[in-house]
Chain A
């Protein structure tokens, strides 16, 4: 059973470009979470999605950031007009059951985004 797959593992963008980060959840998992991690810091919640729905986006900046989890295909975290401060590791996690589940989240190995 494959784990959570994130790609690319490393992404370099210049200021003003767009970054697209992909996440395929574990088989049987219908809920996806995105987190951002800065060096020497913990994971900061960004957004929680289920298929075709955003459940909680309270941790995501209102400007330039968007996320989706379509009926078919991976979840996408999109950052438009990137700035230097967007440089971070972005982790995706998936979970088995529905909203409010107390099952553990399983993480991918992240995408490391560097902005030149």
Chain B
């Protein structure tokens, strides 16, 4: 069965303090690894898709990387508005996605 494990569960940073979130996965037939951002009371908002090991994607202060077993979401010089829960998901060849439990990021001004 596909498994996705995210760490840490919660992360508190000072504004400007860079860090990384981890997503470890086991899946048969990976079709894609996805990162989402979820704000309280909202649905997940799509951030990135990564398809193969070595791939990297960037958007503003966020950069996602992928290896054969894990993905990292790097946050450079975060701001309070980056506070949210970040979800990682893997999609298998059948179409179904398995989500991790998320990392809740709090950025203090």
Number of B interface residues at 8 Å Cβ cutoff, please give it: 27
Whole-angstrom CA separation of A106 from B45 in the bound complex: 7
- Main SS class of interface, B: strand
- Contact between B44 and A43 (Cβ–Cβ < 8 Å)? yes
Whole-angstrom CA separation of A38 from B98 in the bound complex: 15
CB proximity of A22 to chain B, nearest CB, Å:
15
B109 at the interface (CB under 8 A from A): no
Number of A interface residues at 8 Å Cβ cutoff, please give it: 31
- Contact between B95 and A55 (Cβ–Cβ < 8 Å)? yes
B94 at the interface (CB under 8 A from A): yes
- Contact between B100 and A109 (Cβ–Cβ < 8 Å)? no
Whole-angstrom CA separation of A59 from B4 in the bound complex: 16
Contact (A100, B43) CB under 8 Å given A42-B99, A43-B99: no
Partner of A107, one of B44, B49, B100: B44
Whole-angstrom CA separation of A101 from B6 in the bound complex: 24
B contacts, CB < 8 Å to A? 4, 6, 31-32, 34, 36, 41-46, 49, 51, 87, 89, 91, 93-102
Can you name 16 A-B residue pairings with CB atoms under 8 Å? A41-B101, A42-B6, A42-B100, A43-B87, A43-B89, A48-B96, A55-B94, A56-B94, A91-B44, A99-B94, A100-B31, A100-B93, A106-B46, A107-B45, A107-B46, A109-B41
